[in-house]
Structure 1
Amino acid sequence: MSQDGTAIAEAVPPWQHATLRELQRLERAARLPQTMVLQAARGTGLERFAQALTGWLLCQQRTNAPCGQCDGCRQWQAGNHPDALRILPEGAAQEITVDQVRVVTELLSLSRHHRGYRVVQLFPAERLNRNAANALLKTLEEPGEGTVFLLLSEQPRNLLPTVRSRAQVITVPRPSEAQAREWLVAQGISDGENRLAMYPGQPIRALEDEDQETAPLFDTALQQLEAAPSELTQVARRVAATREDATRFLEWLATQAWNDAASHLSAGPSIGTTCAVETYQLTLQARGALRANTPPQLAVESLLVSWLALRAQSRKGAGRESHVGN
Structure 2
Amino acid sequence: MTDEQLLSEATLRAVEQYVANPTQALLLSGPIGVGKALLAKDIAAQLLGVDQNKVQEHAYIRWIEPVDSKIAISAIRELQHFMSRTVPGEGVVTRLVCIVNADTMTREAQNALLKLLEEPAERATIVLTASSPRQLLPTVRSRVQTIAVRPPALSTITDVFVQEGYDETRVQRAQQLAGDNIERLRELLSDDVDTAARDVELVKSYLAVGQFERLSRIDRELKDKQVAMQFVKTLVTMAHSSIKYSVAHNASQSLTRWQSILEAAYIARTALSRNANTKLVLTELMLSL
Alignment length (residue pairs): 230
Matched, 1:95 2:87: no
In structure 1, what is the Cα distance between the partners aligned to 2:64 and 2:171? 33
CA-to-aligned-CA distance 1:29-79 (integer Å, 9 cap, x gap) = xx32211111112222222222211221121xxxxxxxxxxxx328x5374
Matched residue type, 2:11:
T
Task: Give the TM-score normalised by structure 2.
Answer: 0.65
How much is the aligned-residue C-alpha RMSD, in angstroms? 3.7
1:199 to 178, 184, 189: 178
Report the counterpart of residue 113 of structure 2 in structure 1.
Answer: 136
Report the counterpart of residue 49 of structure 1 in structure 2.
Answer: 39
Deviation, 1:161, is 0.8
Report the counterpart of residue 97 of structure 2 in structure 1.
Answer: 120
Report the counterpart of residue 187 of structure 1 in structure 2.
Answer: 164
Report the counterpart of residue 104 of structure 1 in structure 2.
Answer: 79
Specify every segment of 5 or more residues in structure 2 that has no aligned partner in the other structure, as ranges: 196-218, 238-259, 284-289
> Cα–Cα, structure 1 residues 251 and 104, in superposed 2: closer, same or farther, change >3 Å?
same
1:20 to 12, 25, 50: 12
In structure 1, what is the Cα distance between the partners aligned to 2:156 and 2:229? 25
Matched, 1:147 2:152: no
> Cα–Cα, structure 1 residues 46 and 248, in superposed 2: closer, same or farther, change >3 Å?
farther
Report the counterpart of residue 314 of structure 1 in structure 2.
Answer: none
Greater relative contact order (CA < 8 Å, ≥ 6 in sequence): 2
In structure 2, what is the Cα distance between the partners aligned to 1:164 and 1:83? 24
Q: Classify the secondary structure of the residue corresponding to 1:295.
A: helix
2:51 to 73, 76, 83: 73
In structure 2, what is the Cα distance between the partners aligned to 1:17 and 1:49? 14
Contact kept? 2:14, 2:147, Cα under 8 Å: no
> Cα–Cα, structure 1 residues 146 and 159, in superposed 2: closer, same or farther, change >3 Å?
same
Contact kept? 2:235, 2:265, Cα under 8 Å: no
Matches within 5 A, 1:225-264: 235-236=224-225, 239=226, 247=229, 250-251=232-233
In structure 2, what is the Cα distance between the partners aligned to 1:175 and 1:299? 38
- In our comparison, the structure showing a higher alpha carbon Rg is 1
In structure 1, what is the Cα distance between the partners aligned to 2:236 and 2:139? 36
In structure 2, what is the Cα distance between the partners aligned to 1:291 and 1:137? 24
Q: Classify the secondary structure of the residue corresponding to 1:184.
A: helix
Contact kept? 2:110, 2:136, Cα under 8 Å: no
Report the counterpart of residue 163 of structure 1 in structure 2.
Answer: 140
Task: Give the TM-score normalised by structure 1.
Answer: 0.58
Matched residue type, 1:155:
S
In structure 1, what is the Cα distance between the partners aligned to 2:176 and 2:140? 35
> Cα–Cα, structure 1 residues 85 and 199, in superposed 2: closer, same or farther, change >3 Å?
same
Deviates more, 1:147-156 or 1:183-192: 183-192
Q: Classify the secondary structure of the residue corresponding to 2:127.
A: strand
CA-to-aligned-CA distance 1:130-159 (integer Å, 9 cap, x gap) = 111111212113321221111101112222
1:177 to 154, 160, 166: 154
Deviation, 1:115, is 5.6
> Cα–Cα, structure 1 residues 200 and 253, in superposed 2: closer, same or farther, change >3 Å?
closer
In structure 1, what is the Cα distance between the partners aligned to 2:42 and 2:230? 25
Identity of aligned residues (%): 27
Report the counterpart of residue 85 of structure 1 in structure 2.
Answer: 62
> Cα–Cα, structure 1 residues 180 and 303, in superposed 2: closer, same or farther, change >3 Å?
farther
In structure 1, what is the Cα distance between the partners aligned to 2:281 and 2:109? 32
Contact kept? 1:23, 1:32, Cα under 8 Å: no
Q: Classify the secondary structure of the residue corresponding to 2:11.
A: helix
CA-to-aligned-CA distance 1:181-230 (integer Å, 9 cap, x gap) = 22322333322111112112223320133468xx9xxxxxxxxxxxxx79
